[in-house]
Amino acid sequence: MAPFATEDNSSQRKDLGPTLDVYDEAELKSKANKHLLYNGSAPHPDVITACEGLYLYTASGRKILDWTSGQMSCLLGHGHPEIVQVILKHAMHLDHLFSGMLSPPVISLGERLCSNLPDGLDKAFFLSTGGESNEAAIKLAKSYTGKFEIVGLGASWHGMTGQAVGAQYHFGRKGHGPMMPGMHMLPSPNAYRSVFRKPDGSYDWEAELEYGWSMVDMASCGSLAACIVECVQSSGGMHVLPPGYLKAMKRHCEARGMLLIVDEAQTGIGRCGDFVAVNHDGVVPDILTLSKTLGNGLPLSAVVTSERIERVCKERDFFFYTTHLNDPLPAAVGDKVLEILLRDNLVEHARRLGQVLQDGLRTLMSRYGCIGDVRGRGLLAGVEIVADRETKARAPELAKRIGDRIYELGVWANLSTHESFGGVFRIAPPITVTEKQLGEGLGMFEEALRETEGTMPLY
């Protein structure tokens, strides 16, 4: 098997990127150490001074292929010229308003978004972050049902605000006292590691889901309001919901008089090869939340629901007001993102290039025994590094060495190191990526595997 093609080692480049500014890296780091507050995670050692298209540029002059779209957000790449023009125009003429005022960009975004979603997702408002949108969705569900208990999945990530983090079972729950009351957890749908197996060894997600709901029913005080899920648990290790899982989840919710909330922060707006990932499963949630990809890196999120739920919540005095509710500038960006996505047929592009990416990663798996699993959908992929394929023993130290070498060669692929899933690479390049750029990244990934001790070459 021929190796993937690679270009010149980017660690040797001295390319300042799309900027004329020259920075003193040591001075920047000194000021950061002095003035920036620790937020729970150590900052990356490089200081990024510019970004353009699919590339990042460091203060030291290196050019890095961005395989995470920033924080999984720059769907169309960094500095997309049409997005830049929208920002300039609205920064000059229509940037921020009183939250009760409407503007053409907000109305246009609402129309364009809802007209491309399934029937039953008819009404939207716009906030800044995924945590905010999930907070609002949970409050909507509580208002509509008159109940308060919320169910989430193990390994989930929904944000850092009170109700969102309460329904989140991956990380961020410790150190600040009790969560919101009435929060329950279902098992994470981890097909690779779940103990629920059929006699032939295949994943028995139906039995796992039934077991999980039986535990919730026993723990519940009889006030189940909603269940919130992701179509792909990205932060939790890039686990894709099994075929049929989302439909079964909706049936469980309906049987208990609950609403189904689907959080598509990372899977929405084309990344997984559908306009929204719920289309893949043919399921219409009661409430859909979007963020990250909708704003192409700007703070923009959405809550979308039905006219029926809106009407009842309005009658019950639902209220959710923030400083940046329905802000015109980010809404104009979101509207342009959707326009470009649909105009340039980027959903189909993501589906086709996603297959190229998945096939390329599986080729690497056939060559290196340290890759225990490749999973994902479209241009959202996960690669789990293990010490032994038979035992599936985790290998976070090996994964870190591979990740460090990949970065040295010129690719930024986020490595999830938390103990709950240590050793999973999360890969999500902008969906404007070309086949050549995918090949470039895969080539550097292979070079890192070839050069790192302990990767267990199979040829």
Has 14 been annotated as catalytic? no
Active-site annotation holder among 132, 230, 335, 384: 230
Active-site annotation holder among 149, 263, 335, 373: 263
Active-site annotation holder among 233, 426, 437, 440: 426
Question: Could you give the CA distance from residue 106 to residue 299 in angstroms, rounded to a whole number?
Answer: 14
Has 193 been annotated as catalytic? no
In what helix (H) or strand (E) does residue 384 lie, and over which residues does it extend? strand 380-388
Has 63 been annotated as catalytic? no
Helices 346-367 and 328-343, axial angle in degrees (round to 10): 80
Q: Please list, residue by residue across 162-195, b when 16 or more beta carbons sit within 10 angstroms of its beta carbon and e when fewer do.
A: ebbbbbbbbbbeeeeeeeeebbbbbbbbbbbebe
Q: 347 burial class (0-12, 13-18, 19+ CB within 10 angstroms)?
A: buried
Contact 64, 411 (CB under 8 A): yes
Alpha carbon distances (Å) from 292 to 48, 96, 189, 198, 300: 20, 20, 23, 37, 7
SS3 of 152, please? Answer: strand
- The residues, ordered by sequence, that sit 6+ positions from 142 with a Cβ below 8 Å of its Cβ are 148, 150, 225, 226
Active-site annotation holder among 266, 271, 412, 446: 266
Has 230 been annotated as catalytic? yes
Active-site annotation holder among 62, 135, 157, 384: 157
Active-site annotation holder among 63, 147, 250, 292: 292
β-strand partners of 381: 376, 427
Has 336 been annotated as catalytic? no
β-strand partners of 272: none
Has 355 been annotated as catalytic? no
Contact 61, 16 (CB under 8 A): yes
218, HSE (Cβ side, Cα atoms, 13 Å) = 7
Which residues are marked as active site?
A: 157, 230, 263, 266, 292, 426
